[in-house]
A and B are shown apart, each in its own frame.
Chain A
Amino acid sequence: MSEKTVLLQDTTAGSTAGTNDFFGIFKAALRESNLADNVRLVRVADMGIYNQGVVMTILPEDVTYANVGSNDIKRIIGVTLKHGNPVKDLLYQPKFHQMRLVLKNCGRLDPGSLDEYIAAGGYRALLKVVGQQSPEQVIADLTASGLRGRGGGGYSTGLKWKFTREAEGEEKYIICNADEGDPGAYMDRSVLEGNPHSVIEGMLLAGYAIGGTQGFFYIRAEYPLAIERVQKALDHARERGLLGDNILDSDFSMDIDIRLGAGAFVCGEETALIASIEGKRGTPVPRPPYPSVRGLWGMPTCINNVETLANVAPIILHGPEWFSGIGTQTSKGTKVFAVTGKVRNSGLIEVPMGTTLRDIVFEIGGGIASGKAFKAVQTGGPSGGVIPEKYLDTPVDYDNLQKLGSIMGSGGMIVMDEDDCMVDIAKFYIKFCVEESCGKCAACRIGGYQIMHILNAITEGRGALEDLDRLILISRAMKMSSLCGLGQTAANPIISTLTYFEDEYREHIVNRRCPARKCKSLLQFSIIRHQCKKCGLCERACPEKVISGDREHGYSIDTDKCIHCGVCFDVCKFGAVERV
């Protein structure tokens, strides 16, 4: 018989010994069947499947079994290892898979090799279109595919291209918005670093469609590796005649340059981004006119996000029907999410639109790392909101998230457990927006600052119930009268935490208590006498020297002088410091 490989792991939470035990039993069974030399038995670090008992994958058949018991080993050896047939009742049926479209070649290709990209089917879409199809045809395909902007707004990419094409202008520009700034989001960086040519090809196709003459990558300077790799990719493409004059021997000419952003969050807003490229201070201007009509240097300009552009070449190559076959009624294709926070497997994932939050957090993400209770997931960054547990089964798409008071945004997803305080989260985001506000309009400049003050007061035990109405009032004012998206959405995290976790706000205000024990000013520390081992570690660690006592009589905390820093709680190995 041919050689086989068995990969196995006990995926029961917290059971590392289980894998070893099963490995031993299986090994013995293989020896008994005289297969020890023909079967490679390998313990796996992470099966990517969770809480399904012992899981094993058998290669080359590539069958996966879950919840395997030791009494199943005989059947697996007899049926699969000896004869290559599956044991049907043990087969693992995944509910769904990640689907990689944008990330397909990330981590597979050498980003510094144009040849590898071409060998993987790269620049074929450009070859298919340039000189062969009319720009109108390309735009029609994009519109029909249903692709919507992946940067946050979710506007139809095809329509954006159409308006830019129809606008009058001597020059037309295409800008790739790589000013990724949401806390916890880094999918664009990964795509630029892992597969820069896919974005360049998307830009060239966009340029061809809108009649573009020049393209710009607007990349934040904090992404030095992305900048280096994109520059290298541009140079390689230029050398091969894929960029510059008469691309692929046609009359289509376009070049692409890089412009660096200085890391201002507001410069992700398109009018501020344009100002920044023009060398002006990065502040937004009212729209309309939209950049598609009057953008960079007054010329029609199309601004697309990195992930949006990475979707373009596959759509052109495989057709709009293929693309619109993936996803939900209103949101087509896949979406890349950066799943971070309290989740076990933090990282980038790509799923078809319409995948539920529960599948993302618990199936792909592996659930909460600490094993504590799930509380909420934050989506959309500072413009988004939190989604509590009762909505975990919502299929994720642009419209569903909006209905829940959050947004898709660029795809950051921060998972939170019971240790996260929702008032504190709201405070974090508003602080971010206050720091990043450009200060041009009063609503955003003053509103954000006032919200921050109120939240500070609440988390420090100085809040009043009227503050809740005040928060809503200011939030509404910011939403209605701010100049750009930053200010209009800055209050979203406050509104959404207030909607779903008003109890928590009230608990802070009425009882001066933080249920998640996060807001340090509200915490009281004391030493539990019967648990204290009198080691004196807390006394030595206390920065204010307000813990007194000795190794004979034990220790106590002077609560009046305590600054609530929590160091004593952190250093105590015996759980003898109580925090309420």
Chain B
Amino acid sequence: MATMTAQDFDEIKANVQAGNKNWIKVGMSTCGIAAGAGNTYRALEDELGKQGQTVSLRTCGCLGMCHAEPLVEVCIEGLPRVVYCNVDEDCAREIVRGHVMGRKLLQDYILAMHYEEAFS
């Protein structure tokens, strides 16, 4: 394959950014998996399929909040981007039905995070 140039980097970035704007991310590092993120992921996958939703379901690493795993971040256009904590299978299905389809934020599951990023 030809060597990557600065142009290729820009192209990849543009492609990634042009991807699906509606997504759900599940933290799937050792800590999350130990807390049951595997079941959470499968429940989300199953419920999204059942309901015929085209939201992109992704995995990611660990946000560092071990006490709150499994963590699921949800981004649906028109709603604030939020992180849900302690997401079990029932909550996962509720995310699909209530948040994705019902366009409502779930009560009692949001984890607010406060940190600044050292660079953008």
B63 touches A110 (CB 8 A): no
Residue total for B at the interface (Cβ-Cβ under 8 A): 49
Q: Does chain A have a CB within 8 A of B44?
A: no
* Of B2, B62, B115, the contact of A97 (CB 8 Å cutoff): B115
What residue of chain B has the Cβ atom nearest to residue A44's Cβ? B110
B window 91-120: CB within 8 A of A: 104-119
* Of A60, A189, A240, A248, the contact of B80 (CB 8 Å cutoff): A60
A195 touches B61 (CB 8 A): yes
Q: Does chain B have a CB within 8 A of A285?
A: no
Q: Does chain B have a CB within 8 A of A40?
A: yes
Q: Point out the residues of chain B lying under 8 angstroms from A57, CB to CB.
A: 112
Asked if A109 meets B104 with Cβ closer than 8 Å, knowing A49-B114, A99-B118, the reply is no
Q: Does chain B have a CB within 8 A of A280?
A: no
Asked if A194 meets B118 with Cβ closer than 8 Å, knowing A44-B111, A115-B12, A119-B17, the reply is no
A window 40-88: CB within 8 A of B: 40, 42-49, 57, 59-60
B61 touches A5 (CB 8 A): no
A window 192-225: CB within 8 A of B: 193-195, 223, 225
A106 touches B112 (CB 8 A): no
Give Cα A104 to B116, complex, Å: 9
Distance (Å) between the CB of A3 and the closest chain B CB?
8
* Interface residue tally on A, bucketed by range: 35 or more
Give Cα A47 to B59, complex, Å: 24
A190 touches B4 (CB 8 A): no
Distance (Å) between the CB of B61 and the closest chain A CB?
2
Distance (Å) between the CB of B19 and the closest chain A CB?
9
Q: Point out the residues of chain B lying under 8 angstroms from A326, CB to CB.
A: 118
Give Cα A94 to B85, complex, Å: 23
Give Cα A60 to B65, complex, Å: 24
B window 50-89: CB within 8 A of A: 58-68, 71, 73, 80, 85-86
Distance (Å) between the CB of B64 and the closest chain A CB?
3
What residue of chain A has the Cβ atom nearest to residue B103's Cβ? A40
Distance (Å) between the CB of A69 and the closest chain B CB?
20
B30 touches A111 (CB 8 A): no
B64 touches A190 (CB 8 A): yes
B window 24-56: CB within 8 A of A: 25, 27, 29-31, 33
Distance (Å) between the CB of A246 and the closest chain B CB?
7
Q: Does chain B have a CB within 8 A of A563?
A: no
A window 498-554: CB within 8 A of B: none
A106 touches B63 (CB 8 A): yes
Asked if A348 meets B62 with Cβ closer than 8 Å, knowing A5-B80, A40-B104, the reply is yes
Distance (Å) between the CB of A105 and the closest chain B CB?
8
CB within 8 Å: A-B pair count: 163
Asked if A99 meets B115 with Cβ closer than 8 Å, knowing A5-B105, A193-B61, the reply is yes
* Of B12, B30, B67, B112, the contact of A347 (CB 8 Å cutoff): B67
Q: Point out the residues of chain B lying under 8 angstroms from A44, CB to CB.
A: 108, 110-112
A115 touches B60 (CB 8 A): no
B111 touches A97 (CB 8 A): no
B105 touches A42 (CB 8 A): yes
What residue of chain A has the Cβ atom nearest to residue B9's Cβ? A118
Interface centre among B1, B73, B118 (most CB of A within 10 A): B118
Q: Does chain B have a CB within 8 A of A101?
A: yes
A246 touches B3 (CB 8 A): yes
What residue of chain A has the Cβ atom nearest to residue B105's Cβ? A42
A347 touches B13 (CB 8 A): no
Distance (Å) between the CB of A61 and the closest chain B CB?
11
Q: Does chain B have a CB within 8 A of A349?
A: yes
A240 touches B61 (CB 8 A): no
Asked if A348 meets B66 with Cβ closer than 8 Å, knowing A45-B108, A248-B4, A322-B119, the reply is yes
Asked if A127 meets B9 with Cβ closer than 8 Å, knowing A45-B109, A318-B119, the reply is yes
Known: A107-B63, A241-B4. 4 other contacts (CB 8 A): A111-B60, A115-B15, A193-B29, A348-B62
**Which 6 residue pairs are nearest across A and B when measured between Cβ atoms?**
A194-B61, A348-B64, A107-B63, A98-B115, A119-B16, A101-B118
